[in-house]
Amino acid sequence: KILTAAGSHRAEAVREQAAFALRALLASAPAAAAISGGREFSSDVDLHTFQPTGVSDGMAERHNRAMTNNVPAFGEPNSELRDVLPMVELLSASTSDTEIESLLAALATMVCDHQMALLEAGAVVPLIRLLDRAGHEASILGGRANGVGIADAAGIVLSLWRWGRPDERAQLERMIVAVVDGLVKLLVTGSSIGREQAVSALCAMAATSDGVKLAIAEAGAVKPLIRLIRTSNKVDPSADHKVANDQSVSWGSSMVEEAEGVLWSLLALSRERSLDTRVSAEAAADLVQLLQTTPAMAREAAGVVRSLAANGKNRAALLQAGAADGLRLVLTTAGSRCSGDGVALAGK
């Protein structure tokens, strides 16, 4: 409960001590019986037997070896590995939301100092399973899908990706790309809690590789993220979860910042690749919508439009999508702050 408490009222030192205590309990007792209680999953997807298609053979082999023999893939187990193995084992076998939330919170506290141990323990596999399962839940449960733990799971995966060797990063990228569609599905159809979890997970995933960013864009994440930003000041998301699947539900500042973070990542990639990119009608429409968000994001979107418009075919697609009107609106509402990018196209 300490580890999963929301907000900043829990001092980080308290959370750290709770993580150490949980780790000590798991190291001295059978993992399967270390934590009891909690509500059962409401989905038909079994976390500890479901194998997502994105999990590479190498990662799965490392996970299975660690779980079966309680040893790393190479060499003898060290103290850090002994610390994390019971927690990874329990995460792999758990069917309780409460257990999973507690374990992920503990692992998130430990990941900064135990990246290699977590990789050797095969932690990637149950983490990817959690992310993959969230998408299946969204398809099955719709507005009742909560995406339990995926924000923490994605944050841990990001830390492991940053620590991994080039070959491990490449494997992780393929695994992440395989679960992106499901995360976007949760963002669109899940409960308010589920959509918050999806935004946080996508924000973490967008910080990995360009391939993941492209997958997020191609999965259709832009429009629901823009909708989230536009409705951010209308409704208190904590007021009533019964309206979870109402698209008018709005969000707190942290969720909006994370949504903007994903969009910034996609815009930055688009600008970098604009000279070699043929913009689709859908992508052009997304850019026009981005022109109608925050002033800062509108300026960045205008820069992308300007770069893309150097290509005649891109220019036609952008004009067809209404980019000229969008740029004029930016110039009207933001004044001199928008001088520069996009002015030439807006003038036509």
3-state helix/strand/coil string of the chain: CCCCCCCCCCCHHHHHHHHHHHHHHHHCCCHHHCCCCCCECCCCCCCCCCCCCCCCHHHHHHHHHHHHHCCCCCCCCCHHHHHHHHHHHHHHHCCEHHHHHHHHHHHHHHCCCCHHHHHHCCCHHHHHHHHHHHHHHHHHHHHHCCCCCHHHHHHHHHHHHHHCCHHHHHHHHHHHHHHHHHHHHHHHHCCHHHHHHHHHHHHHHCCCCHHHHHHHHHCCCHHHHHHHHHCCCCCCCCCCHHHCCCCCCCCCHHHHHHHHHHHHHHHHHHHHCHHHCCCCHHHHHHHHHHCCCCHHHHHHHHHHHHHHCCCHHHHHHHHHCCHHHHHHHHHHHHHHHHCCCCHHHHHC
Residue 133: the pLDDT is 92
pLDDT attached to residue 330: 78
Domain 80-234+251-273: homologous superfamily in CATH: Leucine-rich Repeat Variant (1.25.10.10)
pTM of the model: 0.69
What is residue 323's predicted lDDT score, i.e. its pLDDT? 86
The low-confidence residues of the chain, meaning pLDDT below 70, are 1-79, 233-252, 274-276, 334-348
**148-186 confidence digits (pLDDT tens):** 999 999 999 999 998 888 888 998 999 999 999 999 999
Q: Where do the structural domains in the chain lie, given as residue ranges?
A: 80-234+251-273, 276-339
- Return the pLDDT at 345: 46
pLDDT in the model for residue 158: 94
Q: Output the pLDDT for position 119.
A: 85
Residue 36: the pLDDT is 33
The pLDDT score that the predictor gives to residue 134 is: 92
Look at residue 25 in the predicted model and tell me its pLDDT.
63
